Chains A and B, each alone.
Chain A
Amino acid sequence: MRDFDAMANADFHADVVVLGAGPGGYPAAFEAADHGKKTILVNDDVAPGGVCLNRGCIPSKALLHVAKLLHESHEAAEWGITFEKPKIDLDKLRDYKNGVVTGLTGGVRQLCKARKVQLEEARGTFLSSNLMELSYKDGSKKTLSFDKAIVATGSVPAMPPIFKLDDDRVMDSTGALELKDIPGKLLVIGGGYIGLEMGSVYAALGSEVTVVEMLDGLLPGADRDLVKPLQKRLEKQLHAIHLNTKVLGLEATKAGIVARLEGENAPEEETFDRVLIAIGRRPNAQNIGLDKTKVQIDEKGFIKVNSKLQTDDPQIYAIGDVAGEPMLAHKATREAKVAVDVILGEPAEFDVRAIPAVVFTDPELAWCGVTEREAKEQGLDVTVVRFPWAASGRAQTIDRTEGLTKLIFENKTERILGMGIVGPGAGEMIAEGVLAVETAAVARDLAESIHAHPTLSETIMESAEGMFAQATHYYRPKK
């Protein structure tokens, strides 16, 4: 039931209100405004841009860029160039990272202004399916009535109670990105992409990094042949990687954080200067008044949505991390466009077949579409073609021959169902795979499109050749 009186008395009215200004929220607001909707973007974070810009994708990539430089300066010795041990000015590095962030979040503000999106820096809480209360930092409150709302409240790092010590030496990804110091010994709990990316940064800066993973491999979800070259390199950069290992508990002592471990090769107890908890993320669907609406939450805490991003409440849509896995910025952005299209009455649907996953370690790891493991689990009739980078001229010139490009083809049609790459630049190269999978390209489409020489992208073309012939630079003995 619409409460028309309350709506009439609201301080503002929006055709579309977007709650949360991350990589789901702000594109949604822009899209709605670009189509003539009066749009209000409600955000209570330090700056628009969400986790991605403020304390996720962007700052971590700035630091990883530096980490790569540090590694390369070290490796250059092999190529006859020797540098002195680098001096690290942590304050300046932090400023550089913060500068990148403020530059981008400022850009989002400007874009809001240019598009006449009203940015309300307040905490938004639903009062009903058509009303939201805005609580400002100065304690004042306003009400906002709306025709449609898009919930894009994102997620927060998961922090189980046993790791909650109220000691700032135990950090989540947010804390790690603050770069307070370079700990002598860092424990990273969780061998997922966040743990490995931040572990790499700290290792490059000089920390002795130990990664503990409960499962039997790093990066669960990725195919093992892609993880292998990364793991091999990480084993050199990191102090230790303990797989099949559990953290039984953490204890804050004067000397450091004492971790009790349980696993084959792990010490029972070890003291660290800092601990990074990177075991996953939790959707932000609580405490935003959804109980006042018809929105339903699933057992994992995600807002239930259909492929049109509609919730169970006809007025309310949800996108991004809060609307389900995978919790990735680019998924949120696409969903934003779909949700707005649906609001505009367009025949949109989130029916993507390839959401790229990229791990920005060195080497990078990227995949999209069906993984080899999924193909096997689903019983698909596929051929997997691998092209090792040792056969790539470009890979030789950068001395990174450990890379691998692989394509997964449906046998009957030679259609590309998935792509996986490990190696420097994999994150950029995967875009071609996404296009191929989404447009239902077949092997010849990739093989017969000229790829510039000498580039790493040639490995994609040559992998495709392997589906129906021999790759030029890699000979597979006939079976």
Chain B
Amino acid sequence: MAIEFKLPEVSEGVESADIAELHVKEGDTITANQIVAEVETEKALAEIECPHAGRVAKVHVSAGDSVAIGAVLLTIEESNGAESSDSGSKDDAPKAEEKQEEKKEESKPAEQKSAPAENKQPASTSAPARQPSATVPADEDRAPAPAGPATRRLARDLGVDLYQVNGSGPGGRITQEDVQNYVKQRLTQPAAAAGGGGPIAPPPLPDFSEFGNTRREALNKIGKTAAQHLTTSWNVIPHVTQHDLADITDIEMARKTFLAGPGKNGPKVTMTAIAIKAAVTALKAFPKFNSSLDPETNEIVYKEYYNIGVAVDTENGLVVPVVKDADKKSLVQIAADVTELAVKARDRKLGMADMKGANFTITNLGGIGGTSFTPIVSYPEVAILGMSRGQKQLSLIDGELEERLKLPLSLSYDHRVINGADAARFIVKLSALLSDPFTLLSEC
């Protein structure tokens, strides 16, 4: 008996996945729970186990395909075969078909019968997104959306899925106005526009070949998701960035001493881990920074938990895993979390759960360089802290010129929720916490 193995739910909320690698081919025999493919979702790589044993009769996808959850990946002929029982009834079927065939197109003699073999090759790859078929397109299994040809054309023009539009006419008929209203409505809720792009469609590209050769590369899933999310964030949030320099001379010395001594065998306590600890304290002092703005009700949603996102640069792009309940963890625990999440991110083993639920994000470019930058707040968060490279500066301390290590901080915030004075207070607080190990110790 043939079984269709469908792409299972990879992780919560994920609707489709890209096939990264296929481990089986047609004709292979597989055992139950064998890993048959690796798929890439928005942010993670997952292995797909097939619960069925048998022979792979057909592979319906190939590497690189974007496949919806529930789509058929493989047809498997189960090894405990019940095949023979079918053959009896099979004998009759062709006869009936033959009769039809003869009648409708009696013309199909030998020459045509030989044809299918050569035509069975898969359609050329140069024609993407094509599914040539000889018949009128079927609307999958659904009845066609109730709309006239002009309305259908308008919907195609605007890229509207008519099944998503509520028809105002009798019998649910969709009018052109319905399509226009649907588009207007979607444009006024940009936050919900997870479909990518902001309200302004980018103009088409010029023909670069006039200027020189070009090469094209598709964004990977992580890239696409990040692009969508950043566009939404940028379009929704009125950004302001506040800069400061934190004097981290003492805390850096303390950190090094700790790492050389008691912390030698523990996780590496980084400046990022310290900043997380300090950020939690600042968030507690300024709860607005630990909130979200509900666009529908215009309410500020204050959160009573402290999850901090940490931007991690990987080969495949930017991901932001989350240190959960940072307020309940010691600095060493936080350091351990950050290390573990960074490793997972680089190995593409992060699950969706690892990347959800941040209240505030820290992005540290200090390892690379730079003096300051303007990070984009990650919607629906309201603030993000950027850290640049610490730099030695001369400071006047009690009339004495001293060499101090200064860490440039860049705090971007959602000006709808946070006013400038609060932002200045927040960053000053943060600087103070980072400047004095004892303050940090006493308040955390």
A residues touching B (Cβ–Cβ < 8 Å)?
Answer: 158-161, 190, 214-215, 220, 279-282, 294, 296-307, 310-314, 323-325, 347-353, 355, 380, 410, 413-415, 417, 438-442, 444-445
B102: Cβ under 8 A from any A Cβ: yes
**Cβ-neighbour of B135 out of A279, A303, A324 (below 8 A):** A324
Comparing B22-30, B126-134, B430-438, the segment that makes contact with chain A is: B126-134
Q: B105 touching A282 by the CB < 8 A rule?
A: yes
Beta-carbon contact of B147 and A158 below 8 Å:
no
**Contact among B104, B109, B112, B146 for A440, CB-based, below 8 A:** B146
Q: How far is the CA of A282 from the CA of B147 in the complex (A)?
A: 34
Across-interface contacts of A323 in B (CB, < 8 A): 134
- A interface footprint on B84-98 (CB within 8 Å = 1, 0 otherwise): 000000000000000
B118 nearest CB neighbor, chain A only? A297
- The reply to whether A444 and B170 contact each other, CB–CB distance below 8 Å, is yes
Bound Cα distance A204, B139 (Å): 44
Q: Sort A-B residue pairs by CB-CB distance and give the 9 closest, nearest first.
A: A158-B107, A413-B171, A324-B134, A304-B132, A440-B146, A439-B148, A347-B156, A442-B171, A307-B137
Q: Is the interface of A mostly helix, strand, loop or mixed?
A: loop
Question: Does B123 contact A347, Cβ atoms closer than 8 Å?
Answer: no
CA distance A244 to B109 in the complex (A): 22
Q: Check A280 against B106 for contact (C-beta < 8 Å).
A: yes
Q: Closest residue of chain B to A416, judged by CB?
A: B171
Partner of A160, one of B107, B116, B133, B174: B107
Known: A300-B134, A438-B149, A442-B170. A279 touches B106 (CB 8 A): yes
Assess whether A298 is in contact with B134, with CB atoms less than 8 Å apart.
Answer: yes
Q: Given A413-B172, A444-B170, A445-B170: A348 and B153 within 8 A (CB)?
A: yes
Q: Contact: A299 with B116, CB < 8 Å?
A: yes
The chain B residue sitting closest to A331, CB to CB, is: B136
23 contacts between A and B (CB under 8 A): A214-B99, A220-B104, A279-B105, A296-B119, A299-B116, A301-B108, A301-B112, A304-B132, A305-B132, A306-B132, A306-B133, A312-B127, A313-B124, A313-B127, A314-B127, A347-B156, A351-B144, A415-B171, A415-B172, A415-B173, A439-B149, A439-B173, A442-B171
Residues of chain B lying within 8 A (CB to CB) of residue A298: 116, 119, 133-134
State whether B148 touches A347 (Cβ < 8 A).
no
Chain A residues with CB below 8 A from B143, complex form: 380, 410, 417
Residues in chain A near residue B104, CB distance under 8 A: 220, 279-280
CB-based contact A310/B130 at 8 Å: yes
Q: Provide the bound-state CA to CA distance between A279 and B119, in Å.
A: 26
Do the beta carbons of A352 and B105 come within 8 Å of each other? no
Q: How far does the alpha carbon of A299 sit from the alpha carbon of B105 in the complex, in Å?
A: 12
A415 proximity list for chain B (CB < 8 A): 146, 171-173
Residues of B within 8 A of A442 (CB): 170-171, 173
Q: Cβ of A417: which chain B residues have Cβ within 8 Å of it?
A: 143
**Residue of B130, B134, B143 with most partner-chain A CB within 10 A:** B134
Contacts A214-B102, A296-B119, A299-B116; is A305 near B109 (CB within 8 Å)?
no
The smallest beta-carbon distance between B103 and chain A, in angstroms, is: 5
Specify which of B115, B136, B146 is in contact with A413 (CB 8 Å cutoff). B146
Give the nearest-CB partner of B99 in chain A: A214
Contacts of B132 in A (CB 8 A): 296, 304-306, 310-312
Residues of B within 8 A of A280 (CB): 103-107
- Considering the complex, give the chain B residue whose CB is closest to the CB of A310: B130
Range for the number of chain B residues in contact with chain A: 35 or more
Structural contact, B119 and A351, CB atoms closer than 8 A: no
**216-234 of chain B: CB within 8 A of chain A:** none
- Specify the chain B residue showing the minimal Cβ separation from A158: B107
Q: Check if A325 sits within 8 Å of B134, measured CB to CB.
A: yes
Whether B239 is near chain A, meaning CB under 8 Å from some CB there, is no
- Of chain A, the residue at the smallest CB distance from B139 is A351
Contact A297 B115 (CB under 8 A): yes
A306 touches B134 (CB 8 A): no
Q: In the complex, A279 Cα to B101 Cα: how many Å?
A: 11
Tell me the minimal C-beta distance from B106 to chain A in angstroms: 4
Q: How far is the CA of A415 from the CA of B146 in the complex (A)?
A: 8
**A220 is contacted by which of B103, B156, B172 (Cβ under 8 Å)?**
B103
Q: Collect the chain A residues with CB atoms within 8 Å of residue B144's CB.
A: 351, 353
B130 is contacted by which of A306, A349, A410, A444 (Cβ under 8 Å)? A306
Question: Least Cβ distance of A288 to chain B in Å?
Answer: 15
Decide if A302 touches B134 in the complex (CB within 8 Å): yes
Complex Cα gap A297–B127 (Å): 15
- Is B157 an interface residue when CB atoms closer than 8 A count as contact? yes
Q: Is B243 an interface residue (CB 8 A)?
A: no
Smallest beta-carbon distance A287→chain B, Å: 12
Interface presence of B43 (CB below 8 A): no
- Interface pair A279/B103, CB less than 8 Å apart: yes
**Knowing that A280-B104, A298-B134 are A-B contacts, what are 4 other residue pairs whose CB atoms are under 8 Å apart, sorted by A's residue number?**
A299-B112, A301-B115, A305-B133, A348-B156
- Complexed CA–CA distance, A456 and B102 (Å): 38
CA distance A310 to B153 in the complex (A): 18
Output the nearest chain B residue to A295 by Cβ-Cβ distance: B132
Residues in B with CB closer than 8 Å to A380 are 143
Which of A158, A305, A438, A439 is the one whose CB lies under 8 Å from B134? A305
Is B152's CB within 8 Å of the partner chain A? yes
Closest to A299 in B: B116
- Contact assessment for A299 and B115 in the assembled complex, using a CB-CB cutoff below 8 Å: yes
In the assembled complex, which residues on chain B have CB atoms less than 8 Å from the CB atom of A312?
123-124, 127, 130, 132
Known pairs A160-B109, A413-B146; A349 contacts B134 (CB<8 A):
no
State A300–B116 Cα separation when bound (angstroms): 8
| B110 to A, closest residue via Cβ | A161
Instruction: Give the complex CA separation of A158 and B133 in angstroms.
Output: 22
By a CB distance below 8 angstroms, the chain A residues around B153 are 347-348
Least CB separation from A285: chain B residue: B115
A325 to B130, CA, bound (A): 19
Q: What chain A residues lie within 8 Å of B102 (beta carbons)?
A: 214
- Distance (Å) between the CB of B159 and the closest chain A CB? 8
Q: How far is the CA of A178 from the CA of B387 in the complex (A)?
A: 89
Query: Which A residue's beta carbon lies closest to that of B153?
Result: A347
Instruction: Tell me, rounded to whole Å, the shortest Cβ–Cβ distance linking B332 to chain A.
Output: 59
Nearest CB to that of B131 among chain A residues? A306
Give every chain B residue within 8 A of A352 (Cβ-Cβ).
136, 149
Tell me whether A347 and B157 are in contact (CB under 8 A). Answer: yes
Task: Report the Cα distance A325→B136, complex, angstroms.
Answer: 8
Nearest chain-B residue to A215 (Cβ)? B103
Q: Are B148 and A440 in contact (CB under 8 A)?
A: yes
Instruction: Using CB atoms, name the residue of chain A closest to B159.
Output: A347
Q: Determine the distance from Cα of A413 to Cα of B115 in the docked complex, in whole angstroms.
A: 45
A residues less than 8 Å from B107 (CB atoms):
158-160, 279-280, 282
Q: From A190, A311, A440, give the contact of B173 (CB < 8 A).
A: A440
